[in-house]
Structure 1
Amino acid sequence: MRHGEAGWHSIDQQRQLTDAGRKAAGIVARQIARSPWRPVEIWASPLVRARQTAAVVSEILNCPVDEKIFLTPDDDPGKCLDALLDMSVDGPLMLVSHMPLVGSLSTLLVDGHRRGIPFMTSQAVLLDMPVIGPGCADLKSQFLP
């Protein structure tokens, strides 16, 4: 999931969600709550807007949030893939991050390359990945505000 809409009145690392961003994140979280793919854990970027988005989603889905330093906008999607390979989460996992990372990571997991697809704010996609690796995921659904 990409974080919700954030204001532009501060430096990038401190940008906070707007009211519209909170509302859109809640709409998407409620859609996910009605799906059979509820996450058991959320990994979130340490930047404010992603943490705030994860908090909204966590409250609705009733699952814990774990901050991950490798989920910031310009991080290498390969670092996230390495963490996914090492993870000990038993069940669906949700990531809350930023563009361009969410686009490049999703493309890496589905198509095996890093060119990246665009994500709207608060957009989430569901990837089914029986085996973790580049090109091993199937896009099952997407959730839009």
Structure 2
Amino acid sequence: MQLLIMRHGEAGWHALDQERTLTDAGRHQVAECAAQIAASPWRPRQIWSSPYVRARQTAAIVSEILNCPIEEKSFITPEDDPGVCLEALLENTCSPLMLVSHMPLVGSLSTLLVDGHRRGIPFMTSQAVVLDMPVVGPGCADLKAQFLP
């Protein structure tokens, strides 16, 4: 399975956490990153998005550029357990799949899949990584590429 994990674009701070929206710079950075992914061999067939506004906006921009559907997932918000996402990935049959979410989840999920622990690596806003997993599980992924705005 190939999994792209992306952190949402830069968001403003003038709303409740779940309702924060992308800034103009955030929209531009997301589009820039999505264009890089479009030119790569790792174009996702589907996007899973956090229900938070900034993640949904990020997923919508990526979806428009990459022409792939979005499915909202309630278990990929900032403080969710990466183990719950891992269980959902085990049941998933779509590959490549893109997940659009938040820190610390994107960092802890990436670290869990690559290194087998949950300490978490940092992600910039609008950053995406590509993980390749012959088998979905802790420590089973190889980092193949990253995209930065």
Q: TM-score, normalising length from structure 2?
A: 0.96
**Residue type at the aligned position of 2:40:** S
Structure 1 gaps of 5+ residues are: none
The answer to which structure has the higher strand fraction is: 2
Q: Deviations 1:73-114 (Å, cap 9, x if unpaired)? A: 00000000000001132x200000000000000000000000
The question of 1:51 aligning with 2:56 is answered yes
Corresponding residue pairs, total:
144
The question of 1:138 aligning with 2:145 is answered no
Q: TM-score, normalising length from structure 1?
A: 0.98
- What residue number does 2:47 align with? 42
Q: Structure 1 CA distance, aligned partners of 2:146 and 2:124?
A: 11
- What residue number does 1:30 align with? 35
Large movers: runs of 4+ above 4 Å: none
Q: Structure 1 CA distance, aligned partners of 2:53 and 2:17?
A: 9
Q: Deviations 1:31-77 (Å, cap 9, x if unpaired)? A: 00000010000000000000000000000000000000000000000
- What residue number does 2:112 align with? 108
- What residue number does 2:14 align with? 9
Q: Structure 2 CA distance, aligned partners of 1:21 and 1:101?
A: 19
Percent of aligned pairs sharing the same letter: 78
**Residue type at the aligned position of 1:71:** I
Q: Structure 2 CA distance, aligned partners of 1:107 and 1:58?
A: 25
Question: How far 1:130 sits from its partner (Å)?
Answer: 1.3
**Residue type at the aligned position of 2:111:** T
Please give the root-mean-square deviation of Cα atoms over the aligned residues, in Å: 0.5
1:96 to 100, 103, 106: 100
